[in-house]
Homo-oligomer: A and B are copies of this chain.
Amino acid sequence: MKPQPESPTLPPNPLPADRRKFLTATLASVLGASALARQAGTVQADDPAATAPSAGQGAAKEPLMSVHDDSMQWPPGWVGKEEIVMLLYPGFTALDLFGPHHMFVLMMGAKVHLAAKTLDSVLTDTGIEVRPTIAFEDCPQAPTILFVPGGTGGTLDAAKDDATRKFVANRGSRADFVTSVCTGSVLLGAAGLLDGYKATSHWITRDLLSEFGATPVDERVVIDRNRITGAGVTSGLDFGLKLVQDLRNDEYAAAVQLFAEYDPQPPIDQGSVAKADPQISGLLMHMHEPFRQMVRDLKNVQ
Closest residue of chain B to A129 (Cβ to Cβ) is: B131
Docked Cα-Cα span, A266 to B6, in Å, equals: 32
Q: Are B32 and A127 neighbours in the complex by a CB distance under 8 Å? A: no
Bound-state Cα–Cα, A289 to B5, Å: 9
What residues of chain B lie closer than 8 Å to A242, measured between beta carbons?
A: 267
> Could you tell me if B154 and A127 are in contact, using CB atoms closer than 8 angstroms?
no
- For the complex, is A78 an interface residue (Cβ under 8 Å from B)? no
Contact B220 A234 (CB under 8 A): no
Contact at B40–A294, with CB atoms within 8 Å? yes
CB distance from A218 to the nearest CB of B (A): 11
Residues of B close to A64: CB separation below 8 A: 125-127
Give the complex CA separation of A203 and B39 in angstroms. 22
Q: A266 touching B262 by the CB < 8 A rule?
A: yes
Number of copies: 2
Residues of B within 8 A of A140 (CB): none
Check A231–B288 contact: CB distance below 8 A.
no
Is A72 in the interface zone, CB < 8 Å from B? no
A73 in the interface (beta carbon within 8 A): no
Bound together, the chains give a CA A10 to CA B204 distance in angstroms of: 12
Smallest Cβ-Cβ distance to A62: which chain B residue: B127
Cβ contact within 8 Å between B10 and A282 = yes
**B156 and A57 contacting across the interface, CB-CB below 8 Å:** yes
Count residues on chain A whose CB falls below 8 Å from chain B CBs: 123
Q: How far is the CB of A208 from the nearest CB of chain B, in Å?
A: 12
CA distance A121 to B272 in the complex (A): 36
Select which of B131, B154, B271 is within 8 A of A261 by beta carbon.
B271
The chain B residue sitting closest to A203, CB to CB, is: B261
Residue contact B65 to A127, C-beta cutoff 8 Å: yes
Contacts of A262 in B (CB 8 A): 233-234, 266, 271
Which of B254, B263, B270, B291 is in CB contact (< 8 Å) with A254? B270
B56 touches A152 (CB 8 A): yes
Residues of B within 8 A of A279 (CB): 13-15, 23
Given contacts A267-B238, A267-B241, contact A288 B130 (CB under 8 A): no
Q: How far is the CA of A49 from the CA of B130 in the complex (A)?
A: 29
A171 proximal to B (CB < 8 A)? no
Q: Which residues of B contact A258 (CB under 8 A)?
A: 270-273, 276, 280-281, 284
Nearest 4 pairs of A and B residues by beta carbon: A56-B153, A232-B261, A63-B127, A263-B271
Sampled A-B contacts (5; CB under 8 Å): A13-B282, A60-B91, A220-B265, A221-B265, A241-B268
User: 4 additional contacts, CB 8 Å, given A232-B261, A242-B267?
Assistant: A14-B279, A31-B284, A56-B154, A257-B271
